[in-house]
Structure 1
Amino acid sequence: MQTDGQPKYERAYQVIVQRLKSGRYPVGGRMPTESELATHFDVSRATIRRALDMLVQDGYVESRQGSGYRVLTLSPASDTCLTSFTDAMLRAGHDPSSRFISLDHFKAGSNELTQLPAEMQGVEISRVVRLRLVDNTPSMLVKTYAPRSLLKDARPEDFPERGPGQSILRILSDRFQLDWSAACEDISPILADAAMAETFQVTAGEPLLKQACSAFDDAGRMVFHEDVYRAGSVSFNLSQSSRTPRHV
Structure 2
Amino acid sequence: METETTPKYEHAYRVILGRLKDGRYSIGGRMPTEGELAKQFDVSRVTIRRALDMLVQDGYVESKQGSGYTVLTLSPASDTCLTSFTDAMLRAGHEPTSRFLSLDHFDADAPELAHLPPEMANLNVTRVNRLRLVDQMPRMLVMTYAPSTLLKGATSLDFPEKGPEQSILRILSRRFQMEWSAACEDISPVLADAEHAHIFGVEIGVPLLKQACSAYDDQGQMVFHEDVFRNGPVSFNLTPRARSPRH
Q: TM-score range by the shorter chain?
A: over 0.9
Structure 1 residue 244, shift from structure 2 partner: 2.6
TM-score, length basis structure 1: 0.96
Structure 1 residue 245, shift from structure 2 partner: 4.3
Maintained 8 Å contact 1:80/1:236:
no
- Could you say what secondary structure the match of 2:234 adopts? coil
Aligned to 1:70: 70
Q: Which segment drifts farther, 203-212 or 75-84?
A: 75-84
Aligned to 2:155: 155
Maintained 8 Å contact 1:110/1:121:
no
Aligned to 2:170: 170
TM-score, length basis structure 2: 0.96
Structure 1 residue 202, shift from structure 2 partner: 1.1
Maintained 8 Å contact 2:80/2:181:
no
Structure 1 residue 79, shift from structure 2 partner: 4.5
Maintained 8 Å contact 1:56/1:62:
yes
- Could you say what secondary structure the match of 2:81 adopts? helix
Q: 1: CA distance between counterparts of 2:122 and 2:98?
A: 30
Aligned to 1:38: 38
Q: Which segment drifts farther, 230-239 or 12-21?
A: 230-239
Structure 1 residue 236, shift from structure 2 partner: 1.4
Q: Where do 5+ consecutive residues of structure 1 fail to align?
A: none
Maintained 8 Å contact 2:84/2:167:
yes
Q: Which segment drifts farther, 5-14 or 173-182?
A: 5-14
Aligned length: 246
Q: Which runs of structure 1 show a deviation greater than 4 angstroms over 4 or more consecutive aligned residues?
A: none
Aligned to 2:47: 47
Maintained 8 Å contact 2:60/2:75:
yes
The one-letter amino acid paired with 1:68 is G
- Could you say what secondary structure the match of 2:116 adopts? coil
Q: Summarize the alignment of residues 128-139 of structure 1 with structure 2, pairs less than 5 Å apart.
A: 128-139=128-139
Structure 1 residue 80, shift from structure 2 partner: 5.8
Percent of matched pairs sharing the same residue: 72
Maintained 8 Å contact 2:80/2:182:
no
The one-letter amino acid paired with 2:98 is S
Cα RMSD over matched residues?
A: 1.3
